[in-house]
Homo-oligomer: A and B are copies of this chain.
Amino acid sequence: MASTSTLRKSNHGSRRANNIVLDLETRAQKGDHQALRLWLRLLSCTVRIENKIRLRLRREFGTTLPRFDLMAQLERSAGGLRMNELSKRLMVSGGNVTGITDQLEREGLVSRTACPGDRRAFTVKLTDTGLKRFREMAARHELWIIELMGGLSRDEQETMISELWKVKAHINRAASLAGKPTQRLQPGRSR
């Protein structure tokens, strides 16, 4: 594309300029490939681990990963959380949270309570049964993770944690700079 024409032009320039262009091209090509390779490997590892956890949660506890994740969020905040907040923390859509909460409520593991002061909102909490059940699963879950991450030394794990932090920070920064699309490209028209 642009690089091709630049290369063609610089054939008429000095050798030094030429080399610079070639360097840039090589770097660009390698760099691209690298980011993509990184992403694919990241994805691959995540999916593998997720699949293992998913399978074990089913086999040992007859539950699913999304339910476990939702309960994990609830356990961390003693007072319970609103659907809204759960949606943000789990990084899934609101409709999804509604569905999973329905399931867990049916199983008697969480409860929906009207939120005092805001009749739109619900507070979702772990029931006593839910808390007990979750603690059992969480203990096993942590062992699984330690086992699955066993390929890395403590130092390597630390390195990766901080590098992933950079990735996360960069993505968030980019998001706020770009400004999230308002999801309403046309002037909103009621009904």
Contact = CB atoms under 8 A, between A and B. Distances in A.
A151 interface: yes
| Copies per complex of this chain | 2
A12 to B, nearest CB: 29
A43 to B, nearest CB: 6
Contact of A42 (B27, B46, B158, B169): B46
The interface centre, meaning the residue of A27, A39, A148 with most chain B CB atoms within 10 A of its CB, is A39
B35 A146 contact: yes
Interface string A144-183: 0111111110101111110111111111011100000100
Interface in A115-164: 142, 145-152, 154, 156-161, 163-164
Chain A interface main SS type: helix
A38 B157 contact: yes
15 contacts: A32-B146, A34-B158, A35-B145, A35-B148, A36-B142, A41-B161, A43-B46, A44-B168, A45-B164, A48-B171, A49-B171, A51-B91, A148-B174, A151-B168, A152-B163
